[in-house]
Amino acid sequence: MKSKRPQLNHAARLAEKHFGICEHQLCIGDISIEELTNQFGTPLFIYHQDTITNTIRDLQSRLPDRFQLYYSIKANPNAAILRTILAEGCGLEIASNGELQQALSAGCKPEQILFAGPGKTKTELSAALDAEIGEIHVESIEEARWINQLAGQKKSVESISLRVNPVDTAGGAMQMGGKPSPFGIDEEILEAVVAEIQQQENTKITGVHLYMGTQILDAEILLAQYHRGISIANAVAQQVDAPLTTLDFGGGLGTPYFAHETELDLDAFQRGLIEIDEAMASSPWLTNTKAIIEPGRFLVNEAGIYVSRVTRVKHSRGKTYAVIDGGMHHHLAASGNLGQTIKRNYPLAVLNKIDELHSADLVEIVGPLCTPLDTLGRSISLPPIEAGDLVGVFQSGAYARAASPLGFLSHPTPAEVMVSTNDAHLIRRPGLPEDLLNDQQIESTDID
């Protein structure tokens, strides 16, 4: 069999950037992948705490003073991750009552919580008002009316921020602005919406929020959006005739998944933010306004690896299949089924053979579910693979476990582990899927 030198592919670059290699294995902190999987089993999500803190500190060091980071919980709501991020001085952006409870129980101060999302119910709004969170980001006039009503019952005046869907936007992989959208208030009707809200007795507009897309790798696109944000914020402030307290520029900072993608240029981003800061300082409405960035993916994605073990290797009609004990039920995004139009491989590696020569034979990495959708690697070049090997999917800290159909085929849910230097802690036990747990509860209730 012919062999070829492994090129420094994306997985190898990530291994080098955030992790390490010890005796042909990937190491997270000082701990080898074999030790981790022996202790915690597979399938397993592993997060490197130092990568999260380094990423946050680097980004924070580039932000002008008026800026604060709010982590968007939906990317990964594990309590240990939230506590790590809170310890770095970030706030949290939530989008449900469940996330509100997660934020509070992780120790987030209520005033450090923002609540966005297009479908907030009255119960959720009421819980957010009772908890006295920092800001509710209103996405429609109906929502503003509900808040006014609820605040009236509490005899309070609530500060609200308006999420705006601008008429034009610079982009990102998944655009959420500039086109018909359930998110935010269309800019075309903004003036009328502001005018109506100003008539309400129990709400006060104090902020503007834009979130126009995710997975943006071009600093110029982000900065162009921020400039749009400033002009919209100026217009709103002028109409309400008061300076704004906050201007939330959204999240969307990307991390490269594929060979053709390049990292966000943080130096260019930093330079552009100085101009944003100056533009805010020179506006009478925004001089003292706090600027917010609410990334999810960027803060945690590169810190996470999803690890599963090869159960068997099968050959069928000229193709080699490595069947693993994990799959798309734990990591839908890596299977290419979370809205991707082109199914590309996430950065993958055989973690116990991280520096071995690659085989000339290409392999399909497939999970145990009874569907061809359950494929995490298509025609991929790896070292010769055999049962017992450990397959790692990099870029798995964000929108991985949290965005997956954990109940599909009722396999156990994966454990999560946090590693820092030579410490590894279980931060979520493996378990039964939620629906099975619920079924058990009903059964035992019946017997009682």
Ligand X SMILES: Cc1ncc(COP(=O)(O)O)c(C=O)c1O
Contact residues for ligand X (CB under 6 A)?
72, 74-75, 93, 116, 211, 214, 250-253, 294-298
Residue 181 or 311 having the CB closest to ligand X: 181
Residue 44 or 94 having the CB closest to ligand X: 94
Residue 208 or 351 having the CB closest to ligand X: 208
What are the Cα distances from residue 275, in Å, to 237, 266, 271, 294? 20, 15, 7, 19
Residue 27 or 59 having the CB closest to ligand X: 59
Residue 29 or 252 having the CB closest to ligand X: 252
CB of 306 to ligand X, least distance (A): 17
Report the 3 state secondary structure along the chain.
Answer: CCEECCCCCHHHHHHHHHCEEECCEEEECCEEHHHHHHHHCCCEEEEEHHHHHHHHHHHHHCCCCCEEEEEEHHHCCCHHHHHHHHCCCCEEEECCHHHHHHHHHCCCCHHHEEECCCCCCHHHHHHHHHCCCCEEEECCHHHHHHHHHHHHHCCCCEEEEEEEECCCCCCCCEECCCCCCCCCEEHHHHHHHHHHHHHCCCEEEEEEECCCEECECCHHHHHHHHHHHHHHHHHHHHHHCCCCCEEECCCCECCCCCCCCCCCCHHHHHHHHHHHHHHHHCCCCCCCCEEEECCCHHHHHHHEEEEEEEEEEEEECCEEEEEECCCCCCCCHHHCCCCCCCCCCCCEEEHHHCCCCEECCEEEEECCCCCCCCEEEEEEECCCCCCCCEEEECCCCCCCHHHCCCCHHHCCECEEEEEECCEEEEEECCECCHHHHHHHHHHHHHHC
CB of 415 to ligand X, least distance (A): 24
CB of 137 to ligand X, least distance (A): 7
> Which tokens hold the place of 194?
């502001």
CB of 206 to ligand X, least distance (A): 18
| Number of alpha carbons in the 13 Å side-chain half-sphere of residue 150 | 21
CB of 253 to ligand X, least distance (A): 6
Residue 296 or 347 having the CB closest to ligand X: 296
Q: For tokens 């706030």, name the residue.
A: 91
Residue 85 or 354 having the CB closest to ligand X: 85
Residue 74 or 358 having the CB closest to ligand X: 74
CB of 387 to ligand X, least distance (A): 36
Residue 36 or 276 having the CB closest to ligand X: 276
CB of 324 to ligand X, least distance (A): 26
CB of 23 to ligand X, least distance (A): 35
Amino acid at 47: Y
How many whole angstroms separate alpha carbon 409 and alpha carbon 338?
Answer: 18
CB of 165 to ligand X, least distance (A): 12
CB of 209 to ligand X, least distance (A): 8
Residue 299 or 418 having the CB closest to ligand X: 299
CB of 94 to ligand X, least distance (A): 10
How many whole angstroms separate alpha carbon 10 and alpha carbon 128?
Answer: 42
Residue 225 or 308 having the CB closest to ligand X: 225
**Residue 218, class by beta-carbon neighbours within 10 Å (0-12 exposed, 13-18 middle, 19+ buried)?**
middle
